[in-house]
Amino acid sequence: MSPTPPPYPEYKIALLGFGNVGQAFVELLLEKKDDLIDEPGIGFRVIGIGSGKHGRAIDPRGLPLQEILDAYKAGTSLDGFSSIPVLDTTGFIEKCGADALIEITPVNYQTGEPAITYLRQAIEKGIHAITANKGPVVHGYRELSSLARRNQVSFLFESTVMDGAPVFSIARSGLPGAKVTSFSGILNSTTNLILSRMEEGETQEEAISYAQSIGIAETDPSGDVDGWDAAVKVAALVTVLMDIPFTPDLVERTGIRGLTLDQINKARDNEQRWKLVCEAVRDPEASHGVKAIVNPQLVSPDSNLYNVSGTSSILEISSDVLGKLSLIEENPSPKTTAYGILADLLNALVGH
């Protein structure tokens, strides 16, 4: 006898990528399960999880999420949880049977691949595509958005910039008819933490080591320290908020590697702070019609950026019809990013 279906819609989800954010998302689903059934009145069944190093599992009946979390943290392969043989990622997407695919694989700054290919495959199968990966937004935004419209599904990516803060939702739903003319802010939480630690007397090397010890910085911190992560986020914002295709190589980029403790101390003595600032402004004389910069700048107490410390971020958006709109996110975590994914999921499945 088949099980009685629940008295609410139940959607099937597949996760591609199961690092810190993927695990935080599953934990958030478990935490919010009853709340989501109460309002908006839906349920979720995770039927597929694919990991780059720990195997892949598909079970149409639903995977045992807590057991999988425990197994993954213990280094056990996910293959043993699968009721269907899965050889590779393409096969995983083909066989999973999901209503929505959440793609959270490592970012490729240069091309956005292979994530673009994975998302394209999902959309072509009529699966809602949600990503926390900046690469596909920078390198595939127009293609994937157009493909999603033709297939009557969503392509959403709220967690790619400022974690779970509703940056793209504000532009998509909160600024209809407005033209974003410029934006600026602090978008890389790792460098902001490093600079904050240096203000407390640590060398840059010591601050980087601390950021690595708490899982904020990678083993190779160059993507943050040399400004690449910030440049990719600027490119994503220009591409979406200004509707101008833009890639990281078009951003004038200088990281914080050259900043010394002496410079930090001199700034403090002058009641200033060094911040890695991201800026973009429409400029008809600039390449592609936008001048975009990532570089260390001295900011004074009269700037909204001055008190944004630690892993916090800020984005200030200017448009042709509103004054400056500021969005601040304080000390995000993987759970914050996971919430951005959940918000996209709810918008795709409930609001689509």
Q: What one-character DSSP code corresponds to residue 5? A: P
Whole-angstrom distance, CA of residue 80 vs CA of residue 78: 5
Question: In terms of domains, do 314 and 216 share one?
Answer: yes
Q: Please give the pLDDT value at position 175.
A: 84
Res 41: pLDDT: 85
pLDDT digit string (tens) for 24-62?
999 999 999 888 888 888 899 999 999 988 999 999 999
Both 192 and 143 in one domain: the answer is: no
Q: What is the predicted pLDDT for the residue at 352?
A: 56
- Four-point Cα dihedral 71, 76, 82, 85, nearest 10: 170
Residue in this structure with the two tokens 């995770």, named with its chain if needed = 46
Closest CA to 17 of 48, 43, 40: 48
> Residues 85, 199: one domain?
no
Model pLDDT for residues 191-201, shown as the tens digit of each residue = 999 999 999 99
**Four-point Cα dihedral 116, 249, 163, 340, nearest 10:** -30
Residues 157 and 233 in one domain: no
Residue 342 and residue 308 in one domain: no
Predicted TM-score of the model (pTM)? 0.91
Please give the mean pLDDT across all residues of the chain.
93
Examine the pLDDT at 4 and tell me if it is beyond 70: no
Q: For tokens 């690469």, what's the residue?
A: 135
- Per-residue pLDDT tens for 281-320? 999 999 899 999 999 999 999 999 999 999 999 999 999 9
Q: Tell me, yes or no, whether 304 lies in a domain.
A: yes
What is the domain count for the chain? 2
By CB neighbour count within 10 A (0-12 exposed, 13-18 middle, 19+ buried), where does 340 fall? buried
User: pLDDT (tens digit, 9 = 90+) per residue, 81-135?
Assistant: 999 998 899 999 999 999 999 999 998 988 999 999 999 999 999 999 999 999 9
1 within domain boundaries: no
**b/e string for 111-123 if b means 16 or more Cβ within 10 A?**
ebebbbebbbbbb
Boundaries of domain holding 290: 173-331
Please indicate, yes or no, whether residues 214 and 325 belong to a single structural domain of this protein: yes
What's the CATH code of the domain at 36?
A: 3.40.50.720
- Domain-located, residue 3: no
